[in-house]
Amino acid sequence: MTSSTSAAAAAAAVSLSVRLRSPYLSPIKFSQFGFSRSKSLQLVLPCLALDASVKSVSAKGEMEKENKLWGGRFEEGVHESVERFTESVSFEAEELWVHDIRGSIAHANMLAAQGLITEGDRDLIIEGLGKIKTKIETGEFVWRKDREDVHMNIEAALTDMIGEPAKKLHTARSRNDQVVTDIRLWCRDAIDRILIRIKQLQAQLVLLALRNDGLIVPGYTHLQRAQPVLLQHLLLSYVEQLERDAGRLINCQERLNFSPLGACALAGTGLPIDRLMTSQELAFTAPLRNSIDAVSDRDFVLELLSANSITAVHLSRLGEEWVLWASEEFGFIIPSDSVSTGSSIMPQKKNPDPMELVRGKSARVIGDLISLLVLCKGLPSAYNRDLQEDKEPLFDSVKAIIGMLEVTSVFAANITFNGERIRSSLPAGYLDATTLADYLVKKGMPFRTSHEVVGRAVALCIAKKCQLSDLSLDDLRGINSIFEKDVYDFLGVENAVNKFTSYGSTGSGEVQKQLQFWCSKLDITSAE
C-alpha cells in the first residue's frame, strides 16, 4: 500500500470512528492497552485496509491466478475475498474425495461405452484418477482454495496431468449432479458406520444386563419412585430404542440410494448417456426419475440428520440417567477411573464427564438438523449455491453421533452397579403399592376402589413411619375387610417384581425372554 493510500485509509478510519461512536459510550483510551492510536485503528478497523485494495488487483496477481474452468464468459478474475467466502474445499475435501473419484470413474466408463469419449481417453482418465487417489492418500496432493471445491481440484489436477482427455470428463455432467452424487455415496457409507456403532452399544448394554442378573432397582416416573423393576429390564429398554434408531437409518439408506448422476444442471442432457449404467456401477438402486428433483432436494440429508437427532436424544437420556446415578445422592453406579475425570480445584471429585458430554453433544446434533431445515426452507426450485452449506452440518452430525455411540459403549463396559446401595434404597417410596392394588383387583374389587384403599394404606404407613409390608393384618383390615393373609405374598419389592407376568413386563420370566432374544440377535453367548 502506498503512503498516499495509507494516509487516506487512516483519515477514513478517523472519520468512520467519529461517525460510528455511540453517544452512550466513552471514547476508548488506546494507551491503556499498550498500543498507539494509529496501530489500534488497524486492529479495530481492519476492513478499511481491505477497502483500499478492493477496487484493484495487481497485474502480477492477475497473471498468477489460474483461469477458472467455468471462466469463459468472464472478463475479470474473481476477487480474493469472494474466493475465500465461496470455497468449500477446506471442509469437504477430506470427506468427499473418495466418492468424487469413484463417481468420475463410473462416469468415464459410461461415456466410453456410449461412444462419447474414446476408450483410450477413458483409460487415461482412470489411470490419472488413480494417481491422484494415491497422492491424496500419501498426503502429496495439494488442495487449492482458488479451485473452489473437491470436484474442481481433482479435475484441474487431472488436466494438469493428462491434458486434453481430462477436459472430456465433464461431458454430460454438472457440478450440481456431481456433488449430490458424492453426498449420497458419503451418506450411504456414513450410515453403515453409524449402524456398526449402534450394534456395538446394544451389545454392551446386553452384556451389562447379563452381569446384573436379578438386581432390582427403583423405577421412576416424574423422577419420583414408582415401581420396582429389574435393572436388566431397564437396560434392555435402551437396546430397544437403539434398534428403532437403526431401523430409521436403514430406511433412510434405502430411500437415499438412488442415483442423481446424469441429471446435469437440472434439465438432463441431449447427449446419449446411460444413467442406468452409472447407477449400477455405483451400486445405486436406480437413477432418480426426475432430473430437477435429483439436483435440488436434500431431504435425504434432512432425514439422516433427523435420525441422528433422535438417536442423540436417546443417548442423552441414558447419559442423564447415568450421571444422576453416579452422584452421591444416588450412588447406584460406580464408573471406573478410565471413564472418569477429576477437578482442577477439588481433589475428591470423580466426574462422569463422558456421559455429560454425550448429553451436551446431543444439542449440536439437533442444531445441525435445525440449521439444515432453515437452510432448505426458502430455496426456489433446482440447485442453489445455498446448498453448499449442507455439508458442514452433515459431517458434524455424523462425527458427533459416532463419537457419542463409541464413548457410551466404552462407558457401559467400564461401570459397575452398586448392588448394596441399590438394595438399601429399595424400601423407600412404597414401590409395591401398585402390586397391592392388583391384589385387591384379583379379590374382585374395582380398580378405582382398590386405588383408594391402597392410598389409605400408604397414608397409614406414612403416619406410622413404616413400609406396607410392616403393616399388620389388623391394620390392613382396619382399612378394608377384604385383606387376607395372602396379601403378604404381594408385598415387598421381590414379591412385587415376581407378580409381573404380562408380555414385555419387568417380571423375571419376561425379562429372560427379552434377554434371550437380544443375545440371539446380537450373537452374544455369555456375559464375558
Q: Vertex 45, ends 40 and 47: CA angle to 5°?
A: 145
**Is residue 372 classed exposed, middle or buried when 0-12, 13-18 and 19+ CB atoms within 10 A define those classes?**
buried
DSSP calls for 98-128: HHHHHHHHHHHHHHHHTTSS-HHHHHHHHHH
Choosing from 90, 343, 424, 520, the catalytic residue is 343
Collapsing DSSP to helix, strand or coil, 21 comes out as: coil
Decide if 151 is catalytic. no
Task: Tell me the CB-side half-sphere exposure of residue 35, using CA atoms within 13 A.
Answer: 7
Distance CA 143, CA 149 (A): 9
- CA of 389: how far to CAs of 264, 281, 470, in Å? 20, 28, 65
Name the grid cell of 68.
477458472
- Bridge partners of 230, per DSSP, are 216
- DSSP class of residue 507? S
Question: CA 278, CA 114: separation in Å to the nearest integer?
Answer: 12
Rounded to whole angstroms, how far apart are CA atoms 153 and 426?
A: 65
351: nearest Cα among 340, 359, 360: 340
334 has which bridge partners? 416
C-alpha cell of 377?
426452507
Cα torsion at 368, 198, 258, 122 (round to 10°)?
Answer: 100
Query: Alpha-carbon distance 155 to 123, whole Å?
Result: 15
DSSP letter (8 states) at residue 327: S
Marked catalytic residue, from 26, 36, 56, 222? 222
Unique residue bearing C-alpha cell 431397564: 234
In the chain, what is the straight-line distance between the N-terminal and C-terminal CA atoms, in Å? 71
What is the distance between the alpha carbons of residues 229 and 238, in angstroms, rounded to a whole number?
A: 14
Closest CA to 382 of 154, 122, 119, 177: 177
Measured CA to CA, the distance from residue 62 to residue 237 in angstroms comes to: 64
Give me 345's grid cell. Answer: 480445584
Can you tell me the distance from the alpha carbon of 340 to that of 351, in angstroms, rounded to the nearest whole number? 5
Length of the chain: 528
Reading phi first (left if > 0) and then psi (alpha if -120 to 50, else beta), residue 153 is in alpha
Task: Output the nine-digit C-alpha cell for 222.
Answer: 416424574
Q: Is 6 a known active-site residue? A: no
Active site residue ranges: 222, 343
